[in-house]
């Protein structure tokens, strides 16, 4: 079933087209990637689809009753209410009922029969609307995104930027939308959560259109790729890595067509020049008319060509000592929680160590301690090797001054640069035209990242600390940085959740998890494979512990049938027991409600206690009803 039709869409700013003639459709179950360099208009196109902007030409048609959910990079989220309120914000009926139920519970404390009847009616309405089931599903979704049950009652205003990003993603996923727009959904997720999100999106019934610079995520999630250009729009029914190969073939064929046409035009014009005044004049005139009517083929638009012109090159640096860092007894706590303690790490020249682990485990904190940027209360010693020339990339880009221009930022480090010299240097990082003279405050995340890296490479370095260096880089820039780091003769310690970047750069892996820091002498690809094998072995061992040794084939079949019959009989008994327990509990609830009506309204504490007991028992009944329905269906089958 088609939920979205985009036809001949055109949009631009100040008369300059951003993109033109964009047409595609999405049906339920489609999982589609939209790719292009930073600044090409991907987020703008999502806003047009969401109805936040009006196109200059063309139109966007969404199926009238299709629910839309849109996850934005900007994390626009109201500071009002709790985390649970935000998760439920897409279900207005449930939100209204929850508010009414809270008011009714307060009113029922008076003990009036009208208030108690209203409480019962609203409870029934909430159950019918499946409010309890929705709350349970939201709690599970929240836990996957790093929110504990206790976090659901936190005020949204207390959340950090990363927590707001994860919450907004959860709000989008919880909405049961039929059309889901996701703009860089992995930016604030750790590796484990990204893997979970991949599986979650693959199982959705909705149509999903996502923008991401995470190549592994695109490959694992999508099966169709849209390429957005200023004058071209290409559709490939394949995942990202296959698209990269297919587009190169397309561009080569299109360039060949243009070249052959140009050769034909040149030969024809030569014939016209030689024969326009001779005995073949009519033929020459005919060919001139043919050329005038000929539709000239344009060279194909290669949207990645300019993006690939970033030049991440490291200046020659001194050779450091063989031992770069010798850290012992590192211990750090944040917010009253110990992140890690008594950590010993030895870093050798040439190591490229990937620091991995779940969000909140202390990866950035450990990187800062190793770089000498820890807090006064942190403990441990860090001995540094000889001839070190260190550089630090901060994921929050806090070392950039929003009030300055890129030229100013460059000349703060290299005072010997003239303005023209600074502009020439910045052109290596795709800052062209007036970009070097714009204030950093108006820059996008990608532009700020490129500027921070440009500053980092202004001076020779042989030891780099990189905290999420690819977070805002587009795919070509990330690939160029990978190549530069893979050929870097110094030492690198870096935090990243980009699996391709981890695989292509790392030589060792440092895992920070549950207060333990463990250093592995393998690159990330081998580390991930070993971890997968370990998990599979543990799962198989757990199965083996719960199963008896495998008997002969005939006996195995008999035992399996016998076990199935026993399981079926158990389910039948449980169904009967549940029916009896539900009947007894419902009778108890009726009696409790009667006591509530008869109880003196003056005893507020007793009324509140009785009301809480009644609600607890009703929740238990709801749970038993769900189990009864599930088991009854299995028995009938």
Q: Which DSSP string do the residues of 378-404 spell out, in sequence order?
A: -EEEEEE-SS--EEEE-TT-TTS-TTS
The pLDDT mean for the chain works out to 87
- Residues 239/247, Cβ–Cβ less than 8 Å: no
Q: Please give the helix or strand (H or E) that residue 587 lies within, else none.
A: helix 553-598
Q: How many CB atoms lie within 10 A of CB 440?
A: 19
Nearest to 311 by CA among 457, 438, 446: 457
Residue 555 has pLDDT above 70, yes or no: no
- Residues 188/214, Cβ–Cβ less than 8 Å: no
pLDDT of residue 501: 94
| pTM for the model | 0.77
* Secondary-structure class of domain 1-67+176-237 per CATH: alpha beta
pLDDT tens column, 64-85:
888 999 998 776 666 678 888 8
Token pair recorded at residue 597? 């009506």
Nearest to 107 by CA among 632, 604, 495, 600: 604
How far, in Å, CA of 583 to CA of 579, rounded? Answer: 6
How far, in Å, CA of 419 to CA of 423, rounded? Answer: 6
Token pair recorded at residue 171? 């709000």
How far, in Å, CA of 272 to CA of 502, rounded? Answer: 60
pLDDT of residue 422: 93
- 3 state DSSP class of 607: helix
Helix axes 113-128, 604-636, angle to 10 degrees: 30
pLDDT of residue 499: 93
The gap from C-alpha 623 to its chain's centroid, in whole angstroms, comes to: 34
Residue 550 has pLDDT above 70, yes or no: no
- Residues 231/303, Cβ–Cβ less than 8 Å: no
- Region 416-423: what's the mean pLDDT? 93
pLDDT tens column, 98-115:
778 878 888 887 777 888
> 159: burial class by Cβ within 10 Å (0-12, 13-18, 19+)?
buried
pLDDT: is 308 or 40 the higher one? Answer: 40
pLDDT tens column, 530-541:
888 888 887 777
| 47 φ/ψ angles, rounded to the nearest 5 degrees | -65, -35
What are the distances in angstroms from CA 372 to CA 101, 341, 368, 392? 54, 17, 6, 11
Q: Looking at the domain 323-536, which fold is it?
A: Rossmann fold (3.40.50)
pLDDT tens column, 13-31:
877 889 999 999 999 999 9
pLDDT of residue 510: 96
pLDDT tens column, 121-167:
888 888 887 778 888 888 889 899 988 888 888 888 888 878 888 99
Residue 637 has pLDDT above 80, yes or no: no
State percent of the chain over pLDDT 90.
48
What are the distances in angstroms from CA 263 to CA 259, 266, 271, 283, 285? 6, 5, 12, 19, 19
Least confident of 218-222, 360-364, 459-463, 600-604: 600-604
How far, in Å, CA of 271 to CA of 275, rounded? Answer: 6
Distance spanning both ends of the chain, measured CA to CA: 30
The label of the residue with tokens 């035009």 reads: 265
Determine the number of helices (DSSP H) and then strands (DSSP E) in the chain.
Answer: 19, 18
- Residues 90/174, Cβ–Cβ less than 8 Å: yes
Per-residue b or e along 568-592, where b marks 16 or more CB atoms closer than 10 Å to that residue's CB: eeeeeeebeebeeebeebeeebeeb
pLDDT of residue 592: 79
pLDDT of residue 79: 64
Output the CA torsion 287→288→289→293 (10° steps).
100
pLDDT of residue 208: 97
DSSP state of 82: B
| Helices marked H in 276-378 | 281-293, 363-370
- Residues 22/42, Cβ–Cβ less than 8 Å: no
The domain ranges of the chain are 1-67+176-237, 82-162, 244-306, 323-536, 557-636
pLDDT of residue 604: 61
Confidence of residue 572 (pLDDT cuts 50, 70, 90): confident
Highest mean pLDDT, choosing among 282-291, 371-380, 547-556, 622-631: 371-380
Residue 599 has pLDDT above 70, yes or no: no
CA angle, 32 then 170 then 157, to 5°: 135
pLDDT tens column, 494-510:
999 999 999 999 999 99
How far, in Å, CA of 310 to CA of 186, rounded? Answer: 24
CA angle, 422 then 423 then 427, to 5°: 120
- Residues 36/45, Cβ–Cβ less than 8 Å: no
What are the distances in angstroms from CA 421 to CA 91, 194, 404? 57, 42, 17
């Amino acid at each position: 079933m088609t939920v979205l039709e985009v036809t001949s869409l055109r949009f631009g700013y100040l008369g300059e087209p951003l993109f033109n003639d964009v047409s595609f459709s999405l049906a339920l179950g489609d999982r589609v990637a939209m790719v292009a360099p930073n600044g090409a208009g991907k987020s703008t196109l999502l806003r047009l689809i969401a109805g936040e902007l009006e196109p200059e030409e063309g139109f966007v048609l969404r199926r009238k009753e299709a629910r839309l959910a849109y996850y934005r990079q900007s994390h626009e989220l109201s500071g009002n209410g709790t985390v649970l309120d935000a998760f439920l914000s897409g279900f207005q009926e449930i939100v209204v009922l929850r508010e009414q139920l809270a008011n009714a519970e307060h009113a029922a404390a008076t003990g009036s029969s009208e208030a108690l009847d209203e409480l019962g009616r609203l409870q029934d309405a909430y159950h019918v609307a499946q409010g309890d089931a929705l709350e349970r599903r939201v709690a599970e979704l929240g836990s996957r995104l790093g929110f504990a049950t206790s976090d659901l009652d936190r005020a949204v205003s207390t959340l950090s930027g990363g927590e707001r990003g994860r919450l907004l993603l959860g709000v989008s996923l919880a909405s049961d939308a039929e059309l889901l727009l996701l703009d860089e959904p992995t930016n604030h997720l750790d590796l484990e959560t990204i893997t979970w999100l991949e599986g979650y999106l693959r199982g959705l019934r909705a149509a999903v259109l996502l923008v991401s610079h995470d190549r592994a995520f695109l490959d694992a999630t999508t099966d169709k790729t849209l390429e957005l250009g200023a004058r071209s729009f290409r559709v490939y029914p394949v995942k990202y890595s296959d698209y990269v190969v297919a587009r190169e073939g397309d561009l080569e064929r299109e360039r060949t067509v243009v070249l052959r046409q140009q050769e034909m035009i040149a030969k024809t014009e030569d014939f016209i020049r030689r024969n326009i005044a001779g005995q073949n004049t009519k033929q020459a005139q005919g060919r001139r008319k043919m050329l005038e009517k000929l539709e000239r083929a344009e060279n194909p638009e290669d949207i990645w060509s300019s993006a690939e012109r970033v030049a991440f090159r490291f200046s020659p640096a001194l050779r450091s000592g063989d031992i770069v860092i010798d850290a012992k007894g590192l211990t750090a706590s944040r917010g009253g929680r110990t992140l890690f303690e008594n950590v010993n790490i030895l870093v050798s020249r040439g190591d490229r160590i990937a620091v991995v682990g779940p969000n909140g485990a202390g990866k950035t904190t450990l990187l800062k301690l190793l770089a000498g940027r820890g807090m006064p209360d942190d403990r441990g010693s860090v001995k540094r090797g000889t001839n070190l020339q260190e550089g630090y990339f901060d994921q929050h880009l806090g070392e950039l001054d929003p009030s300055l221009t890129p030229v100013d930022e460059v000349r703060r480090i290299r005072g010997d640069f003239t303005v023209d010299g600074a502009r020439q240097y910045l052109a290596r990082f795709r800052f062209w035209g007036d970009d070097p003279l714009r204030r950093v405050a108006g820059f996008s995340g990608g532009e700020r990242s490129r500027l921070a890296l440009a500053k980092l490479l202004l001076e020779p370095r042989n030891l780099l600390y990189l905290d999420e260096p690819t977070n805002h880089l587009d795919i070509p820039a990330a690939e160029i940085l990978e190549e530069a780091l893979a050929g870097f003769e110094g030492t690198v310690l870096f935090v990243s959740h980009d699996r391709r970047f981890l695989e292509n750069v790392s030589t060792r892996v440092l895992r920070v998890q549950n207060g333990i820091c463990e250093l592995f002498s393998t690159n990330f690809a081998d580390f991930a494979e070993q971890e997968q094998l370990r998990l599979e072995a543990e799962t198989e061992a757990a199965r083996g512990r719960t199963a008896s040794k495998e008997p002969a084939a005939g006996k195995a079949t008999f035992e399996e049938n016998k076990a199935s019959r026993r399981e079926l009989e158990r389910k039948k008994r449980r169904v009967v027991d549940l029916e009896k327990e539900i009947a007894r509990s419902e009778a108890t609830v009726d009696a409790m409600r009667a006591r509530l009506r008869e109880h003196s309204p003056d005893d507020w504490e007793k009324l509140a206690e009785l009301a809480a007991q009644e609600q607890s028992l009703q929740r238990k009944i709801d749970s038993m009803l769900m189990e009864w329905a599930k088991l009854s269906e299995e028995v009938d089958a």
